[in-house]
């Protein structure tokens, strides 16, 4: 029983503690992220978790700012926010040095982010998010590169094409559609929000909410949103002789992706993505597994965000991929590697008088590149070995008088039970194999 006045050992609601086995999974995920994005020439940047609250007010969207940020007053009466996303930060950094930086910039980061959400599967109050962004390229080649990086990450994790689908939309298509329906700016804004929520509400509520806002125009809206062919036809007709540029741009992107091997894409005109700063192509990767049928991650084009800081518009395209949804995806599909600690060797002793010898042995093995822990417990040998076993350390050596005299040691492989007797100089070779 816990004594009175003891603090709770639970972490704060909605955030996680990372015990070594959790850390192993996280490092694995981060490792795959880094490997793929660096292979495309993306450079890592970083920034503080603290940002002035005003950074999010203009462009992140009402829901994030009013309901989801951790904002507080600092001792100097300034409003400070724990960053809920990285995009405004990176836009600030790029705008701040736009004269010195050489474009196009390919940048990535893996920040810890904070959102005051109702904790649930895939949604916590803290997560880590890979951000991959390209600045300075206006054409669809950048969109295709970023989406293909997203695809390659899934591929590196061991996902097959049928395990996920990449939904693609263009916000400008919707703008054209709203113009076609002659919606006013207020209606446009509200209808966009309803479309954004479409998959979270029932068709009846979706229809009723639209009716309330735009009356009978809802019938044509729903009709066009439910058929890509009809939608593109209508927009092309409205645009006149050359057809709709935006429709063309969107279809071309999907074709380009297909030509570079990314074929699990689908045009989804109802895909909005919440943030106000997106103003072109948006995309979102969805899990197709019935036990985890949800959005995994997404991003899009945001050409005007640097406008917040300077007169220069720097075109940008990027995405954010969270570690929580990535881990759920990998778990459901059994794609996570088995836990292995970084420690490779545990050296036990037959008595404290051998500790000095063990220590100097460990030192020389560390110099040879091994990660070595030594037992300091004075416990029985069997218990020392059990410690190594419980920590999944793959190799064990026990040191007593014989070993010290002969300078020969039995290296035990804990998984197979096999033992090899070797000289000190040979130990690293046996273990590294
Ligand atoms: P977002 O869709 O808000 O976009 O977040 C991207 C991803 O981060 C989500 O799809 C999910 O994987 C993860 N994520 C977000 N919130 C949570 C949460 N509360 N708990 C767990 N995971 C979460 C953005 O943040 C954009 N700034 C991404 C971006 C970068 N767009 C362009 N560049």
Per-residue pLDDT of 192-247, as tens digits, reads 999 999 988 999 999 999 999 999 999 999 999 999 999 999 999 999 899 999 99
* Residues 269, 282: Cα–Cα separation, whole Å: 10
Q: Encode 140-174: b = buried (16+ Cβ within 10 Å), e = exposed.
A: bebbbbbbbbbbbbbbebebeeebbbbbbbbbbbb
* Mean pLDDT (whole number) for 344-358: 97
- Residue 302 CB partners (closer than 8 Å, separation 6+): 87, 91, 275, 277, 278, 279, 280, 316, 317, 318
pLDDT value of position 108: 98
Task: For 104-159, write each residue's pLDDT tens digit.
Answer: 999 999 999 999 999 999 999 999 999 999 999 999 999 999 999 999 999 999 99
Q: What is the pLDDT of residues 163-188, one digit of tens each?
A: 999 999 999 999 999 999 999 999 99
Ligand 1 centre distance from Cα of residue 74 (Å): 26
> pLDDT value at position 290?
83
Q: Whose CA is nearest to atom 10 of ligand 1?
A: 297
124 lines ligand 1 (CB under 6 A): yes
Beta bridge partners of 258: none
Cα of 390 from ligand 1 centre, angstroms = 36
pLDDT band at 59 (very low <50, low <70, confident <90, very high): confident
Task: Report how far ligand 1's centroid is from the alpha carbon of 134 (Å).
Answer: 17
Ligand 1 touching residue 303 (CB < 6 A): no
Average pLDDT, the chain: 95
Residue 123: CB within 6 Å of ligand 1? yes
Kindly report the protein residue whose alpha carbon is nearest to atom 28 of ligand 1: 320
Pocket probe for ligand 1: among 62, 64, 82, 85, the residue whose CB has the most ligand atoms within 8 Å is 85
pLDDT in tens, 10-34: 999 999 999 999 999 999 999 999 9
To the question of pTM greater than 0.85 for the whole model, the response is yes
Residue 109 vs residue 1, higher pLDDT: 109
Written as one string, the DSSP assignment of 219-264 is HHHHHHHT-HHHHHHHHHHHH-TT--HHHHHHHHHHHHHHHTT---
Closest to 269 (Cα-Cα) out of 178, 358, 339, 403: 178
User: From ligand 1's centre to the CA of 274, what distance in Å?
Assistant: 10
Tell me whether residue 97 is exposed, middle or buried, using C-beta atoms within 10 angstroms of its C-beta: 0 to 12, 13 to 18, 19 or more.
Answer: exposed
Q: What per-residue confidence (pLDDT) applies to 1? A: 63
Residue 414: asked if its preceding bond is cis (omega within 30°), the reply is no
Look at residue 416 and tell me whether its pLDDT is greater than 90: yes
pLDDT at 17: 98
Of 65, 105, 147, 298, the one to substitute when testing ligand 1's pocket (max ligand atoms within 8 A of C-beta) is 298
The pLDDT value recorded for residue 275 is 85
Residue 352, classified by CB atoms within 10 Å of its CB into exposed (0-12), middle (13-18) or buried (19+), is exposed
Whether the per-residue pLDDT at 47 is higher than 70: the answer is: yes
Q: What residue owns the CA closest to ligand 1's atom 8? A: 322
- The CA 319 to ligand 1 mean position distance, Å, reads 8
Which of 60-69, 74-83, 308-317 has the least mean pLDDT?
60-69
Atom of ligand 1 nearest to the CA of 68: 19
Residue 80: pLDDT band by 50, 70, 90 thresholds?
very high
Measured by CA distance, the residue closest to atom 15 of ligand 1 is 322
Mean pLDDT for 359-372 is: 97
Packing angle, helices 245-259 and 171-180, rounded to 10? 150
Per-residue pLDDT band for 433 (boundaries 50, 70, 90) equals low
DSSP assignment letter at 45: -
């Amino acid at each position: 029983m816990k004594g009175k006045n003891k603090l709770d050992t639970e972490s704060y609601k909605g955030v996680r503690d990372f015990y070594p086995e959790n850390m192993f999974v996280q490092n694995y995920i981060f490792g795959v992220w880094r490997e793929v994005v660096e292979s495309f020439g993306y450079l890592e940047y970083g920034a503080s978790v603290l940002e002035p609250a005003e950074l999010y007010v203009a462009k992140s969207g009402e829901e994030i700012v009013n309901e989801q940020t951790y904002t507080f007053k600092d001792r100097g009466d300034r409003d400070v926010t724990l960053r809920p996303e990285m995009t405004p930060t990176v836009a600030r950094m790029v705008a701040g040095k736009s004269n010195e930086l050489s474009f196009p910039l390919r940048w990535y980061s893996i920040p810890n982010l904070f959102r005051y959400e109702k904790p649930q599967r895939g949604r916590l109050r803290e997560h880590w998010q890979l951000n991959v962004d390209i600045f300075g390229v206006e054409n669809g080649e950048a969109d295709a590169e970023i989406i293909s990086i997203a695809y390659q990450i899934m591929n590196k994790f061991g996902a097959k094409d049928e395990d996920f689908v990449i939904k693609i939309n263009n916000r400008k298509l919707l703008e054209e559609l709203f113009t076609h329906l002659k919606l006013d700016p207020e209606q446009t804004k509200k209808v966009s929000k309803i479309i954004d929520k479409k998959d979270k509400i029932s068709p009846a509520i979706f229809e009723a909410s639209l009716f309330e806002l735009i009356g009978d125009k809802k019938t044509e809206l729903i009709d066009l949103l439910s058929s890509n062919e009809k939608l593109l036809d209508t927009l092309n007709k409205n645009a006149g002789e050359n057809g709709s540029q935006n429709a063309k741009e969107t279809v071309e992107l999907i074709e380009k992706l297909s030509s570079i091997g990314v074929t699990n894409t689908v045009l989804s005109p109802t895909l909005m993505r919440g943030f106000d700063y997106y103003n072109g192509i948006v995309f979102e990767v969805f899990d197709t597994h019935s036990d985890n049928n949800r959005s995994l991650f997404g991003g899009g084009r945001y050409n005007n965000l640097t406008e917040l800081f300077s007169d220069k518009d720097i075109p940008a395209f990027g995405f954010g991929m969270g570690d929580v949804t990535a881990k759920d995806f990998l778990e459901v599909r059994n794609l996570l590697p088995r836990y292995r600690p970084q420690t490779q060797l545990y050296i036990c002793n037959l008595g404290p008088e051998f500790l000095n010898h063990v220590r100097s042995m460990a030192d020389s093995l560390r110099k040879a590149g091994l990660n070595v822990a030594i037992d300091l417990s004075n416990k029985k040998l069997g218990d020392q070995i059990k410690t190594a076993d419980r920590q999944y350390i793959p190799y064990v050596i026990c040191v007593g008088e014989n070993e010290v005299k002969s300078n020969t040691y039995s290296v035990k492989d804990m998984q197979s039970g096999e033992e090899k007797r070797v000289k000190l100089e040979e130990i690293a070779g046996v273990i590294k194999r």
